[in-house]
Amino acid sequence: MQKLKLALYWAASCGGCEIGQLQIGDKLLKLAEVADIVFWPVAVDAKYKDVEAMPDKSIDVCLFNGGIRNSEQEHIARMLRNKSRVLIAYGSCACNGGIPALANLFNKDMIFKRVYTETPSTDNQNQVFPQPSVKVPEGELNLPVFYDTVKSLRQTVEVDYFIPGCPPEEQTTWLTLQALIDGKLPPAGAVITGSAKAVCDECKRQKNVKKVKKFYRTFARIPEPDICLLEQGYLCAGIATRGGCGALCPQANMPCTGCYGPVENVIDQGAHFLSAVASVIDSNDPQEVQKIIDEIPDPAGTFYRYSMAESLLRRARIK
């Protein structure tokens, strides 16, 4: 039997998805029996020109992690789309923009100013900033163009399947690879997690519909081990987040942060989470409600931690 050709790529992300792909452990040996890795820059010596020389659709499947932050990542996304029969958005950043998309609250000039002039450890008295190209005696040097807006993979190219998570759990990754090996992939466009329900449906904590007067940071106190974290005043996104992870964070006494993306048929995960939070506030006094809400740190990072690019907001409007 001819082996499958597998490609993996890392765009605007932290690299955790590369570790997530290795979490399948000894199943890598089973994968190696049926698939050859033809492109994986972080682990295999292959050049862009090698991929460019491949016939279109000669790669059976590509796991693409990371959002699209610059021109190089966009170019590679388009190239791998052309070369791959199946393109999979792997991880939160590829699926929904992820943490990098929180930069959409700013623009390129604001980000460069902060990074290259304002940080305490930066000494840049001449105000030197990265440039897309510069001529030197040896020729012209080029850097990728840094975009104002971080996009998800499907906002750039057509995507066949989605595997969410920061990073995806081992069982989610293998669920997809097993389906690929067996030739039993779901209908195109599917989000592959093994569950269409919310994390709350996988969480064994007791839900008593309690109301709260205050929201707590995770370091402020130790939660009760068996009671719903949201009903204890912790900003747990389980009610607005697709399951499939096994509710691992709540099991460890940590609130769900939403990395598996929105539940089925929800367009805006942040708005859904915000609605759930509003429903447990124990007050009808607008001033008291406002005071409680004002104590929530970093609302954008809390409610849109992984989903800014795919939200109704997309980005801040900056003059």
Closest CA to 274 of 303, 246, 298, 250: 303
**Token pair for 30:** 């089973």
DSSP for residue 191: B
Average of per-residue pLDDT across 193-213? 90
**Does the structure show a pLDDT above 70 at 1?**
no
Q: Which long-range contacts (CB under 8 A, 24 or more apart) does 134-141 make?
A: none
For residue 248, count other CB atoms closer than 10 A to its CB. Answer: 13
- CATH number of residue 153's parent domain: 3.40.50.700
Let me know whether 224 and 175 are in one domain: no
Are 172 and 219 members of one domain? Answer: no
The answer to whether residue 117 sits within a structural domain is no
- The DSSP annotation for 91-160 comes to SHHHHH-TGGGGGGGS-HHHHHHIIIIISTT---TT-----SEEEETTEEEE-PPEEEEEE-GGGTS--S
* Residues 303, 274 contacting (CB under 8 angstroms): yes
If asked whether residues 80 and 55 sit together in one domain, one would say: yes
Instruction: Please give the share of the chain, as a percent, with pLDDT higher than 70.
Output: 100
Give the pLDDT score at 189. Answer: 93
106 assigned to some structural domain: no
Average pLDDT over the chain, rounded to an integer: 93
Q: Is residue 132 situated within a structural domain? A: no
The reply to whether 78 and 172 lie within a common domain is: yes
* Count: domains in the chain: 2
Same domain assignment for residues 64 and 176: yes
The boundaries of the domain holding residue 156 are 4-99+149-182
CA 166 to chain CA centroid, Å, is 6
What pLDDT score does 239 carry?
95
Indicate whether 232 and 288 sit together in one domain: yes
252 pLDDT above the threshold of 70:
yes
2: confidence class by pLDDT, cuts 50, 70, 90: confident
Question: Does some domain include residue 70?
Answer: yes
Residue 67 has pLDDT above 80, yes or no: yes
At 95, list the tokens.
């699926």
Are 170 and 227 members of one domain? no
**Does 153 share its domain with 27?**
yes
Q: Which amino acid is at 32?
A: A
pLDDT confidence band for 25 (50 / 70 / 90)? confident
Query: For residue 317, how many C-alpha atoms fall within 13 Å in the half-sphere facing its CB?
Result: 2
Asked if residue 172 lies in contact with residue 192, where contact means CB atoms within 8 angstroms, the answer is yes
Comparing 175 with 65, the larger pLDDT belongs to 65
Q: Is residue 126 part of a domain?
A: no
- Average pLDDT score over residue span 123-127: 93
Indicate whether 308 pLDDT > 90: yes
135 domain residue, yes or no: no
**Is there a single domain that holds both residue 153 and residue 223?**
no
**CA dist., res. 4 & res. 319, Å (int):** 49
State both tokens at 129: 């900033």
Q: What span, in angstroms and rounded, lies between the C-alpha atoms of 319 and 314?
A: 16
If asked whether residues 275 and 233 sit together in one domain, one would say: yes
Mean pLDDT of all residues in 258-270: 94
User: Crossing angle for the helix pair 170-182 and 27-34, nearest 10 degrees?
Assistant: 30
Following DSSP, what letter does each residue of 198-235 receive, concatenated?
Answer: BHHHH--SB-----BS--B-TTTSPPPTTB-TGGGTB-
Task: Give me the mean pLDDT over the 18-45 stretch.
Answer: 89
Is the domain of 177 the same as that of 203? no
Q: Stretch 146-161: mean pLDDT, rounded?
A: 97
- Is the separation of the CB atoms in 229 and 236 below 8 Å? yes
Looking at residue 242, its pLDDT comes to 96
List the structure tokens of 313.
């907001």
